[in-house]
Amino acid sequence: METNERIVILDFGSQYTQVIARRVREFHVFSEILPHTTAAADLAARRPNGIILSGGPASVYAPNAPQVDPRVFALGIPVLGICYGMQLIAKNLGGKVHQSTHREYGRGTLTVKSAGKLFARLPRRLEIWNSHGDKLIRAPKGFKAVAVTDSAPFAAIEDADRQLYGIQFHPEVAHTPRGREILGNFVTGICRCTGAWTMASFIDRAVADIRAQVGKERVILGLSGGVDSSVAAALIHQAVGRQLTCIYVDNGLMRANETASVKRIFANGLGLKLVVADAGAGFLRKLRGVTEPERKRKIIGAEFIRVFERAKKSVGTAQFLGQGTLYPDIIESVSIDGNPAALIKSHHNVGGLPKNMKFKLVEPLKQLFKDEVRAVGEALGLPQEMVWRQPFPGPGLAVRCLGEITAEKLNILRAADAIIIEEMKRSGWYYKVWQSFAVLLPVRSVGVMGDERTYDYTIALRCVDSQDAMTADWTRLPHDLLAKISNRVINEVRGVNRMALDISSKPPATIEWE
């Protein structure tokens, strides 16, 4: 079923803005995040069913505080202000906000005085999560307080006639256990969304859009074997079949069986046109003698582009370039006092294509979050091992093979890594952690095997839990699993006689070692 329902979220710099967008989509309603500077007329042109004003770190009276176009409140579209968003409603419509010097953090209890539509079907007392400095001390004309806390007489307000709502606390976080239902009441009860945006409807529409965009032209796509480019490839292939050619660069820095599994899944399984550029020897030659991590990355990045360009020529002329760009890559982050909500790491683009290639882009995933991309992958029939695989860096094993990269060291690293992956999967841990992999250290130490002295490498096991890779903590794996992995690696991989466990968190360490 086709749907044009959508909720727009205006971003005032809250760390939770993307979480709000995710939560709305759980009701099968499309949501999009726009900068707070968006004019009311532009908002209205998108015909949203409702508008949510996010929280934010500022005080509404601060000199550079992000503002909202006040005409938003007169569009006749329901508005929900969360935290800072509620204070903006108050400031613009004649309420009073008390500036506070300290922030109120943490759990609280909300008492609902009048359920109305926002608190429909919810108990009178609710556990909530607060994180605010300023608070409302007088509601604007036409509004009434519908919920209070011990310290806030206006913890939730509404003007049901104008369909304007404000809540002081954060319904989008897990610490507000019934928050999901509050958002649901807004999205389905107040904004009257029916919830027809499903992965199946998304795929139908994406396929139609890709066909309309591409026509009879050709598309090429750099397939890395990661989740994003794989799902983009499968989706574009569903739309235009053999008008799509995927180029897979085997840089010789892949994990064990990686290239074979890409061929099996895409060329044999999906029947997709796949060009494999077997370029490992060239990458190794360029990396000979190089030990400095940033130089490794630069060399790999440049060589990737060269190999891709060459492979592209063999495909013939294509007008379009397919890419697995995701929503978090394109959301404009709001800069409040020079502190953008999301910091972008430039080095993470290694292994990608330059921006100035002369192509029109086909980016069918650019409105989706990662878990939605996985759901699309599953719906398209990609295997679980592909859809749920752990992230893998563009420069591949190069940033896990410390010091100079040689074919011998790569083989050792690959064999150890394959054992780690196998044991992680067998024990059920692989899909619970963010990443788990082997790192080869460029030092040798003495050991004894049978009656012989050995002088071999050390493998470090890096296994981390994370939400978004910006921060991470080392996973407390069970000792018997660690013992099993270490036993197997040392016994089965020639050239390794010792294993270490990396017990550093990020920050101050990073996930990858280089």
Contact residue for ligand XMP among 235, 272, 307, 350 (CB under 6 A): 350
* Catalytic hit among 83, 193, 246, 463: 83
Contact residue for ligand XMP among 116, 179, 222, 351 (CB under 6 A): 351
Q: How many residues belong to the site for ligand XMP (CB under 6 A)? A: 14
The Cβ of residue 467 has, within 10 Å, a number of other Cβ atoms equal to: 8
Place of tokens 């992000």: 66
Q: In angstroms, give the least distance from the CB of 229 to ligand XMP.
A: 10
| DSSP string of 337-352, one letter each residue | TTEESSPPPGGGGTTS
Binding segment toward ligand XMP, per CB under 6 A, in 165-173, 348-356, 424-432, 484-492:
348-356
Q: In angstroms, give the least distance from the CB of 508 to ligand XMP.
A: 11
Sign of CA dihedral 336, 333, 304, 228: positive
If one asks whether residue 370 binds ligand XMP (CB under 6 A), the answer comes out as: no
If one asks whether residue 394 binds ligand XMP (CB under 6 A), the answer comes out as: yes
Q: For 56-93, b where at least 16 C-beta lie within 10 A, e where not — what string?
A: bbbbbeeeebbebbeebbeeebbbbbbbbbbbbbbbbb
SS3 helix, strand, coil % of the chain, rounded to 5? 35, 25, 40
Contact residue for ligand XMP among 348, 360, 426, 494 (CB under 6 A): 348
Sign of CA dihedral 290, 408, 393, 462: negative
Q: Which of 127, 129, 94, 96 has its CA nearest to residue 110? A: 127
Q: Are 68 and 51 in contact (CB under 8 A)?
A: no
Binding segment toward ligand XMP, per CB under 6 A, in 163-171, 253-261, 303-311, 344-352:
344-352
The DSSP H or E segment spanning 46 is none
Q: Is 172 a catalytic residue?
A: yes
If one asks whether residue 511 binds ligand XMP (CB under 6 A), the answer comes out as: yes
Binding segment toward ligand XMP, per CB under 6 A, in 170-178, 204-212, 213-221, 391-399:
391-399
If one asks whether residue 493 binds ligand XMP (CB under 6 A), the answer comes out as: no
Q: In angstroms, give the least distance from the CB of 391 to ligand XMP.
A: 4
First to last CA, the chain: 47
Supply the DSSP symbol for 470.
S
The partner residues of 275 in beta bridges, in order of sequence, read 247
If one asks whether residue 298 binds ligand XMP (CB under 6 A), the answer comes out as: no
Q: In angstroms, give the least distance from the CB of 465 to ligand XMP.
A: 12
Q: Is 463 a catalytic residue?
A: no
Give the C-alpha separation, 149 to 155, whole Å.
6
Q: With respect to ligand XMP, which residue has the nearer C-beta, 307 or 336?
A: 307
Q: 3-class secondary structure for 23-44? A: HHHCCCCEEEEEECCCCHHHHH
Q: In angstroms, give the least distance from the CB of 417 to ligand XMP.
A: 13
Give the list of residues 6+ apart from residue 45 with CB closer than 8 angstroms, or none: none
Q: In angstroms, give the least distance from the CB of 293 to ligand XMP.
A: 10
Q: Are 100 and 58 in contact (CB under 8 A)?
A: no
If one asks whether residue 153 binds ligand XMP (CB under 6 A), the answer comes out as: no
Q: Is 170 a catalytic residue?
A: yes
If one asks whether residue 435 binds ligand XMP (CB under 6 A), the answer comes out as: yes
If one asks whether residue 396 binds ligand XMP (CB under 6 A), the answer comes out as: no
* Catalytic hit among 158, 172, 372, 514: 172
Contact residue for ligand XMP among 342, 469, 481, 482 (CB under 6 A): 469
Q: Which residues contact ligand XMP (rule: CB under 6 A)?
A: 347-348, 350-351, 391, 393-395, 435, 469, 506, 510-512
| Residues with catalytic roles | 83, 170, 172
